[in-house]
Amino acid sequence: MDTRIFKIDPEDIDIRKIREAGEILREGGLVAFPTETVYGLGGDACDAGASEAIYAAKGRPSDNPLIVHICEFSQLEEIAADLPDTARVLADAFWPGPMTLIVNKNQVIPHETTGGLDTVAVRFPSHPIANALIRESGCMIAAPSANTSGRPSPTQARHVIEDLKGKIDAIIDGGPVDIGLESTIVDLTEQVPTILRPGYINKHMLEEAVGEVRVDPGILGKENVHIRPKAPGMRYKHYAPKGNLKIVSGDREKVIEEINRLAAAGETEGKKVGIIATDETRDLYKAGIVISIGDRDDEYQIAHNLFDVLREMDECGAELIYSEEFSTPEIGNAIMNRLLKAAAHQVIEV
Ligand code: AMP
Ligand code: MG
């Protein structure tokens, strides 16, 4: 398949190109587009065939539901059944923005889009291109991240091109995304709103808006790997680079010493070694290909660069990858949640 590339400036949107992309969606085709979190692979959420095509293009298991993207608050009511008050409160507080709500669904969205579930994930994104595309297409857009299933999520159009060129109808290149981590998913079908996937909108922010919020125990870290996460997507190996990634955890100096030792040992064995460092530590490594993820104290920069760095590790052919651990008080566990999954929970404590 020939994949058309539309280059669109998010600050000066060429509406003719958006309309062409919208036309593709209306006809059942697939268009990848930027959002403020990561790039999404979009299809008409009401068209079962389009959802099936999304699963096929990504190689995604079809029991892993898609997020429905909307551009009006009223569209939430259009697709939900027995909407709780908390949905309106959270939508008012954080939409348009990087938060996804899980609510009971009615008949409007087919089961193909929701992976067979009677609930639906809904998000009103803030990215101007995403908004224009939803509006102009006249469709609510089902969109998972626009990567091949299992690979790091795409934060730039070139990541989407790498994974999906030739498999989908079009890609809108709107430049690098802003946040770089997928949306926070909040389940409103439980008594207490529950975070199923951590993201930029953290627990504290949600609590300020609705009161008590829980975190799904299935996503809380190594000691809970036996608990099944409620979001189907959080159960799969994910975000993984091709090399074997391990996280080295402990005091900064010991971490650097251990990574240097492991890197030297790997290279002696003839392996290509990659190291994920920070601006402050990058010059302290003596072997391996060292890539900085950004300033240690700027967790938003770390979030922004995380998936790109994992993909860069693939590009340089790293077979063994060692990463420092990052402290991220604001985004909470959103970054380490992705990194731990990418590393299949392999952590070396020093
Ligand atoms: P992605 O769009 O690639 O970020 O993936 C969407 C995420 O939302 C996956 O982790 C899904 O499992 C999760 N998700 C979507 N719909 C639901 C739902 N109805 N219930 C629970 N999790 C959902
Ligand atoms: Mg994804």
Are 151 and 160 spatial neighbours (Cβ–Cβ below 8 Å)?
A: no
pLDDT of residue 221: 66
pTM: 0.95
pLDDT for 170 = 98
pLDDT score for 270: 97
Tell me the best of 64, 109, 179 to mutate to test the pocket of ligand 1, counting ligand atoms within 8 Å of each CB and taking the most: 64
What topology is assigned to 4-215 in CATH?
A: DHBP synthase (3.90.870)
Domain 244-349: state its class: alpha beta
State residue 333's pLDDT score. Answer: 82
Measured from CB, residues less than 6 Å from any atom of ligand 1 are 64-65, 67, 102, 114, 117, 119-121, 144-145, 182, 185, 196-197, 230-234
Q: Which residues of the chain have pLDDT under 50?
A: none
Angle made by CA atoms 141, 142, 146, in degrees to the nearest 5: 105
- Report how far residue 279's alpha carbon sits from residue 83's, in angstroms, rounded to the nearest whole number: 46
Can you read off the two tokens belonging to residue 182?
């997928």
| Cα angle 317, 321, 322; round to 5 | 155
4-215 matches 244-349 in fold: no
- Confidence at residue 210, expressed as pLDDT on a 0 to 100 scale: 97
Structure token digits, residue 210: 């609705």
Token pair recorded at residue 271:
């392996």
Ligand nearest to the CA of 64: 1
Question: Helix H segments across 59-198?
Answer: 74-79, 85-94, 128-137, 157-164
Domain regions of the chain by residue span: 4-215, 244-349
Tell me if 251 sits within 8 A of 272, measured CB to CB. no
Q: 204 C-alpha to center of ligand 1: Å? A: 22
User: Of 60, 197, 216, 228, which is best to mutate to test ligand 1, by the most ligand atoms within 8 angstroms of its C-beta?
Assistant: 197
d(CA 103, CA 119): 5
Which ligand sits nearest to residue 232's alpha carbon?
A: 1
Strands 67-69 and 119-123: parallel
